[in-house]
Every structure is written in structure tokens, then in C-alpha cells.
Amino acid sequence: MIPVAKPAVGDDEIAAVAAVMKTGMLATGPEVTQFEEEFAGYCDVEHAVGVNTGTAALHVALKALGVGHGDEVIVPAFTFIATATSVSMCGAKPVMVDVDEHCYTIDPDEVSEHLNAKTKAVIGVHLFGQSFAVEPVAEICADADVLLVEDCAQAHGALCKGKKVGGFGAAGCFSFYPTKNMTTGEGGMVTTNDAALADRCRRIANHGQSDKYLHTELGYNYRMTSIGAAIGRVQLRKLDEMNRKRQANAAYYTKYLDAPGLKTPAIRAGCAHVFHQYVTELKDAFPADRETVMAYLREKGIGSAVHYPMPVHRQPLYAGDPGVRCPVSEDLSGRVLSLPVHPGVTEENCAYIVATINGAEW
Ligand SMILES: Cc1ncc(COP(=O)(O)O)c(C=O)c1O
């Protein structure tokens, strides 16, 4: 089976973990600090704070920015649930808005329409490895005096107008879950150019501790482990190469897939897409339904997945707000289909997948 996702870890990561284990420093230690510095350097930001998941990165960043009860935070409806639940975890209300039908990222017009006096922040998601339309969203936020937070969980190394994601807003939040463009096992990182914000994130992620056993605010145990950081440092060195492989696989699919009604991913002008996922769309002209396609691919040894089958505002958790309308997200969730694009997919695999799809008689 060609899996739809697979972490690219090997002997280098194993050696790095073994070396850390021999030091006896298993929880947060110097390895984490080194990883933070290297990751900040990679993203071209001043500060990076390592945490234990991408969800924790979003939660601490929002808390550190003062998001709380009575606030609203605008999020796209078409994303992984954690973009919204991190807002709820702060006691604030996530306001789901629609995405653009080409690149599937937050629609700037929708952001403008949903701003009000309670809006404290906007979270733009760099979805599937592609930057959202940063310029218009940042401009809307600046005009309205609202904070911009980037959810970079799926876009390590992605570029918007030549600049890495993670440095456009007040904070950038990354995930290092095993399926992501780089991993630490579980892990996350907040990036920022604001030293005070970085300090506050660090404090909140460490029990709200401002000095040894002195707790000045409500915090959590969201610390990154040295073991995770050791894996992350090796992965960061390989990230550009792994992203290039993802891009080459994606380019192959886009060039050769020619089944009728199969929409291949759009790339936003001026942006470098790093293909966390290669997400196709089965338009009306496509001759089979998604379940049939997935079953057929599975039979042929090809993994596929749906990112995401239900938009956030339709989730049972949030379905209490019947006024929310996001028709593009709703339509997309019924049509999208992700194909294997990770660095472990060979050109031979790509050719087999293309031939299987193009030649299928559903
Ligand atoms: C867009 C997005 N935001 C946030 C997260 C949360 O990251 P984690 O799973 O590391 O908590 C993910 C992870 O899948 C994600 O894809």
C-alpha cells in the first residue's frame, strides 16, 4: 500500500534521540533551546517557543495575546478542528467564515463581513501547504486594529511573496505531528517577532511560572521534550529537501492527471506551496463518487484521504449556531480527495497512481 501520509524519519533521527537519552535530559533542556533558535532562524523571525503540540501553540499564542471571554476570533470553516477549538479553549467564540473556492483558504471578503466590535483576532490557516492571501487579510486586520495569527501547522517552509510563513502576524503556530512536513513525534512551535509575547507564551506553556515555583498566571504543561527537539533539529535540516520532493510529486500529478472533472490544486500567484497534502476535487463531471474512487484506489494499493469531510461549523461541537453559512466549505467537504504526496512517494509510485486514475473505468 502506498500510504497517504508517512513521516520521513530514519537513522539520523534515531541517533539524535539516542544521544539525548544518554544525557539523561529527557524533559525540556538545551536541545529545545537550540531547536527554537534554529527554527526561528529558518522562519526569519526573532523568537520561537517550543511546545508539545500544534494545538498548544495556538492556545498559548491566543492566551498570550489576551484572547478571552467575550472576544470573537474569525477562523476559516474549512480547516482542522484545532484552529477553532484553540479559540474555544480561551473562552472566546470562534466565528467561522468561508474560504475561497480556488485555493481553499480564508476569504478576505468574508473576514471583512464578519468583523465587529468583539473581534479580537483573525486566524488565517496556510492550508495543505499553501499560504492564505496574507496581504489583504493583514491589511483588513491592521485597519480594524485586530490581531492576525497564522496557523502554520501544515506549511513549514511555505512562502508568500518570497517570505516564509510564520512571520506575518502577531504569532505563527506550527505543528510537528508525524504527518506534517516535518515532525518531532508530537510537538508545536510559536513564532513571533515580539520578545514580550514570546516570554508570555513560554510562561503559559510552563504552568504560568515566572520564577522557580512562583506562578503569576494560569498556565499549562505544554512543554516540548528534548527528545522531540532532537528529532526536530534533524528534520529541520532536511525540511527543504523534503518539501522539494513533495513539490516534485505534486508537479507530476498536476502535469499528468487528466481524468475528466478532476480538479488539481491551484497555486496562488507569488506563493510557494509545500504540499502538506495534494488535495484534488471531484467536480460534477467526474464519473464516480468519492467512496467508489477511494475503494478502487485502496484495491489497487493506493491510500487516499479526505481533508476534511465536515467543515468546522457543521461539527456537532459547533452546530448550535444555525446562522453560520459557508457554502464553499460545505461543497468542498463533499468533493475533496487527497492523494499520497509525501517524500516517501517515488516517481514510480506517482506514475502508477496517475495511470491508475487516468485509466480507471469506474
Ligand atoms: C491546520 C491545523 N491546525 C492545528 C493543528 C493542530 O496540531 P496538533 O495536531 O499538533 O495539535 C493541525 C494538526 O493537524 C492542523 O492541521
Question: Is there a contact between 273 and 265 (Cβ–Cβ < 8 Å)?
Answer: yes
Query: Is 228 close to ligand 1, i.e. is its CB under 6 Å away?
Result: no
C-beta of 83 in contact with ligand 1 (< 6 A): yes
Ligand 1 pocket check for 79: Cβ under 6 Å:
yes
**Ligand 1 centroid from CA 188, angstroms:** 9
**Closest ligand 1 atom number to CA of residue 83:** 3
- 74 CA → ligand 1 middle, Å: 17
Compute φ and ψ for 237, nearest 5 degrees. -65, -25
Measure the CA–CA gap between 294 and 117, rounded to whole angstroms: 45
153 C-alpha to ligand 1 centroid (Å): 5
Q: Which of 336, 334, 285 is nearest to 4 (CA)?
A: 336
* Angle of CA points 111, 116, 121, to nearest 5°: 60
Secondary element (H or E) of residue 57: helix 54-64
Q: Is the pTM of this model over 0.75?
A: yes
User: pLDDT tens digits, the chain, 362 residues: what are they?
Assistant: 999 999 999 999 999 999 999 998 889 999 999 999 999 999 999 999 999 999 999 999 999 999 999 999 999 999 999 999 999 999 999 999 999 999 999 999 999 999 999 999 999 999 999 999 999 999 999 999 999 999 999 999 999 999 999 999 999 999 999 999 999 999 999 999 999 999 999 999 999 999 999 999 999 999 999 999 999 999 999 999 999 999 999 999 999 999 999 999 999 999 999 999 999 999 999 999 999 999 999 999 999 999 999 999 999 999 877 789 999 999 999 999 999 999 999 999 999 999 999 999 98
Retrieve residue 113's grid coordinates. Answer: 463581513
Give distance in angstroms: CA of 82 to centre of ligand 1.
Answer: 6
Is 78 touching ligand 1 by the criterion CB < 6 Å? Answer: no
Q: Which residue has the cell 468583539?
A: 118
H or E stretch at 247: helix 226-256
**153 touches ligand 1 (CB under 6 Å):** yes
Ligand 1 atom showing the smallest separation from residue 154 Cα: 16
Alpha carbon of 181 to ligand 1 centroid (Å)? 12
| Ligand 1 atom showing the smallest separation from residue 179 Cα | 14
Q: How far is CA 206 from the centre of its chain?
A: 23
Question: Which atom, in ligand 1's list, is nearest to the CA of 186?
Answer: 10
